[in-house]
Amino acid sequence: MVCNAFINGEEEVKQDSNAYLEKKRFFEKVLTIYGRNAVLEALEDLSVTVHKLHFSKSNKPAPVLKQMEAIAQKRGIEVAYHDKQALSRISKNAKQDQGVALDIVLEHFGNEEDFLSKNDSYRILALDGITNPQNLGMIIRSAAAGNIDAIILPTKGAAQISPLVIKASVGTLFKMPIIKTSDLSKTLQHFKEKGADLYTLSSHAKKSYKEQSYSNKTIFVLGNESEGVSKKVEALCNESIAIPMNRGVESLNVAVTASLLSFLD
């Protein structure tokens, strides 16, 4: 009897653990945006999966708020009402949330294990310390339009998905697979062990990015706007490639570089 109780107890813990992990994976895909214009645009876009709409109870009546409620009702979206402080904890931006926040589900967000299990060949942009939200948004836009299969985005030391990034991406964020990582070098090492070739960009590289032969598992690493790729990440890369430039120009904006790489054949 004791043995059976122990086994059953273990099974229950395992079930709870699986449920917890599934819930965790779901909320890793949830992004909270705020501001009346951003929220309304997302609600009106039927391609955007919405988890929940949040209002502050202190909001004064306004046509745009009624419009949001009507869309939420029509789409079957849950609406929650909070005091001002509670809403600010949800939006994480009390000064700019304008009394509204929206949880959207980024269906294409995932982790490296999920991506590797579903893709035998790929081209990826890995972002190492990109801090400008507009650059991040433009990189996402170019990657979505071009021949890039995913973007690896660190969760620390880099710009994160925000209304400004969404605006700069012109909505393409909702279409682009993004792999979030808490340790970029560890993730890149994992991909390398699975056969990926890693490239950095350097004006001193001998071979042009157009002349390089790429394998069916290629990752381009783009570094910080001013400091470039970190030493730890650079040490993992197989080779450096160059973008030839005229008139003594030494470097390009990182978003422009991402665009050129995105449209390689």
Name, in order, each residue with C-beta under 8 angstroms of 90's C-beta and a sequence gap of 6 or more.
Answer: 32, 54, 82, 101
Which parts of the chain sit beneath pLDDT 70? 1-16
Please, what is the Cα angle at 228 between 166 and 218, to 5 degrees?
75
Residue-level pLDDT at 216: 97
In this prediction the pTM is 0.79
Give CA separation, 187 vs 98, 179, 184, in Å: 38, 10, 5
Q: How many CB atoms lie within 10 A of CB 41?
A: 17
Domain ranges in the chain are 29-105, 109-262
Q: Domain spanning 29-105: which CATH class is it, in words?
A: alpha beta
Give CA separation, 36 vs 110, 176, 230, 264, in Å: 28, 24, 38, 38
The CATH code of the domain at 109-262 is: 3.40.1280.10
Residue-level pLDDT at 4: 43
pLDDT by residue (tens digit) across 39-64?
Answer: 998 899 888 899 999 999 999 999 99
The string over 163-177, giving b where at least 16 C-beta atoms fall within 10 Å of a residue's C-beta and e elsewhere, is bebbbbbebbbbbbb
Task: Report yes or no: 105 and 29 within 8 Å, Cβ to Cβ.
Answer: yes
Residue-level pLDDT at 132: 96
Alpha helices (H) along the chain: 2-28, 36-44, 63-75, 84-91, 112-118, 133-145, 163-169, 184-193, 231-234, 254-262
Report the distance separating Cα 180 and Cα 187, nearest Å.
Answer: 9
Say if 29-105 and 109-262 have the same CATH topology.
Answer: no
Residue-level pLDDT at 163: 76
Report the distance separating Cα 123 and Cα 101, nearest Å.
Answer: 34
Give CA separation, 220 vs 152, 180, 200, 214, in Å: 10, 16, 6, 11
